[in-house]
Amino acid sequence: MTVSFGTFSCSLEGFEDPFETMKVITEYFRELSAQQDDTPDIARLTEIAQSTADANVTAEKLDDGVILRQEAPRSRQK
């Protein structure tokens, strides 16, 4: 799932519920737009995605955006 903010794109991979995560990211983009800031912060995007994920999230920076990947959940040991 991908959303764009100007020429910047943010893609989600491996998320169980990408819609919920993308809703929060879209709200962040709206806040940036209201502040007339056109440069999303990749660390902030990663934090946002991590807050909705059940596992660690990694970010791959691209020339025109970022891919956020949710890693496989860690198995719980008994």
4: three-class secondary structure by DSSP = strand
- Joined together, the tokens standing for residue 27 give 């709200």
| CB-count exposure of residue 69 (10 Å: 0-12, 13-18, 19+) | middle
Would residue 76 count as lying in a domain? no
Task: Tell me if 46 is assigned to some domain.
Answer: yes
- Residue 65 domain-assigned? yes
Asked if the structure places residue 50 within a domain, the reply is yes
Domain enclosing residue 10, as ranges: 2-70
45 lies in some domain: yes
The answer as to whether 9 is a domain residue is yes
pLDDT, residue 76, reads 53
Is 66 among the domain residues?
yes
pLDDT at residue 38 in the model: 81
Predicted local confidence at residue 50, as pLDDT = 94
How many angstroms separate the CA atoms of 27 and 45, rounded?
11
Tens of pLDDT, residue by residue, the chain (78 residues): 999 999 999 999 999 889 999 999 999 999 999 998 888 999 999 999 999 998 899 999 999 999 999 998 765 555
What's the pLDDT score for residue 41?
95
Instruction: Count up the domains in the chain and report the number.
Output: 1
Burial class (CB in 10 A: 0-12, 13-18, 19+), 68: buried
- How far is residue 59's CA from residue 20's CA, in Å, rounded to a whole number? 18
